[in-house]
Amino acid sequence: MSRVLIEVRDLVKHFPLRAGLPGRGKAGAVHAVDGVSFDVLEGETLGIVGESGCGKSTTARLLLRLLDPTSGSIALDGREIATLSRAEMRPLRREMQMIFQDPYSSLNPRRTIGSIIAEPFAIHGIAPGREERKRRVQELMESVGLNPEHYNRYPHEFSGGQRQRIGVARAIALHPKLVVADEPVSALDVSIQAQILNLLRGLQRELGLTIVFIAHDLSVVRHMCDRIAVMYLGKIVELATAEELYAHPRHPYTAALMSAVPVADPARAKVRRAQALSGDLPSPTNPPAGCRFHTRCPQFVAGECDVREPLLEPKPGGGLAACHFPLLDVSSVAARAPIAQQDRASPS
């Protein structure tokens, strides 16, 4: 069994609001991440999915200490990093890197891609010689499918997919233990998405990378991830292997997300009628009591779901779910299992 590389316990991030701002009323806080716990195993890809505003990107930035947590614990290789200062974090930065969502704004347009990819070497004092650094950068360019001869070109001379390859090269330059990919293909065309995903999987096998993959596209997550955590309003509501999650979702929110994934076959799409969620997403400044999903849940039980917060705990059949009344009958999610098998095919 793989060892634990990242251990997260009771992680919280609240963003305080100022009193008196229009529409804000009294001072309060946005509960972006509100007590999440999970492990990331060495060499695996853990997916984190959910609607916009669920806290998945904030969680990604907390893992890398790009944001300071309000409370909670983050351990990298057994070392607590949640309370380290910026100076104490600096030597650990080479072990933790990020691939950003937007390949256009994440690259400095005034610098050549050679200097962009070489930046990690300069920051950490690696390969100080100019020729040695250029050689390493060109090797990285070749490893991600870029022409090494384009070393002196600028970002605007590359397509979106090529720019994301530049971002990948920069992220793997120091051979990090952990790479956090924050929706790395959402800004790309579908055909280019598949190329970048296959590139990441190949680099993971070659370099032994551990990846935390943030996304909202469930088909992309299934192609990439070994395990998947589903977030809703700052909480993890389900955590399971990709196979378990797609075959037998236990949380009603997970089932609703999966039923809404488009299917190419019209006959299957008719059978797989989306289970539309009722109501609006509650405000993260004032999350509901009890289960946070109870205001939109088709299985809501008054006096239970709106009073007692469910724990993320093992459920029959596998996986963890935070639900008082988990989905145990696969037939309640019409025809999902055979369709999930069809969806498992790799994008091309």
Residue 316: the pLDDT is 82
Residue 81: the pLDDT is 96
pLDDT at 23 over 70: no
Query: Which H helix or E strand runs over 159?
Result: none
* CA nearest to 342, candidates 273, 277, 258: 258
3-state secondary structure of 209: coil
Encode pLDDT of 309-321 as tens digits: 999 999 887 899 9
Select the more confidently predicted residue: 232 or 267.
232
What average pLDDT does range 298-302 have in this prediction?
89
CB pairs under 8 A, 24+ apart, for 23-32?
28/285, 28/286, 29/285, 30/284, 30/285, 31/233, 31/234, 31/284, 31/285, 31/287, 32/58, 32/234, 32/284
Return the structure tokens found at 123: 């920051």
Residue 276: the pLDDT is 60
Residue 318: the pLDDT is 81
pLDDT at 26 over 90: no
The residues pairing with 119 across neighbouring beta strands, listed in sequence order, are none
181 φ, ψ (degrees, to nearest 5): -105, 110
Model confidence at 187, in pLDDT bands (50, 70, 90)? confident
Find the length of the chain. Answer: 348
pLDDT at 335 over 60: no
Encode pLDDT of 135-171 as tens digits: 999 999 999 999 999 999 999 999 999 999 999 999 9
Residue 95: other Cβ atoms inside 10 A? 14
In whole angstroms, what is the distance from residue 198 CA to residue 219 CA? 14
Record the pTM: 0.88
Residue 51: other Cβ atoms inside 10 A? 15
When mean pLDDT is compared over 54-58, 122-126, 187-191, 255-259, the highest value belongs to: 54-58
Residue with tokens 């539309």: 276
Measured between its terminal Cα atoms, the distance across the chain in Å is: 31
* Contact in structure between 253 and 333 (CB atoms under 8 Å): no
Residue 3: the pLDDT is 92
Residue 61: the pLDDT is 95
The DSSP annotation for 308-342 comes to: SPPP-EE-TTSSEE--SS----GGGSTTHHHHHHH
The DSSP annotation for 255-303 comes to: HHHHHTS--S-HHHHHHS---PPPSPPPPTTSPPSSSTTTTT-TT--TT
Select the more confidently predicted residue: 33 or 265.
33
Model confidence at 339, in pLDDT bands (50, 70, 90)? very low
pLDDT at 344 over 80: no
Return the structure tokens found at 262: 């488009």
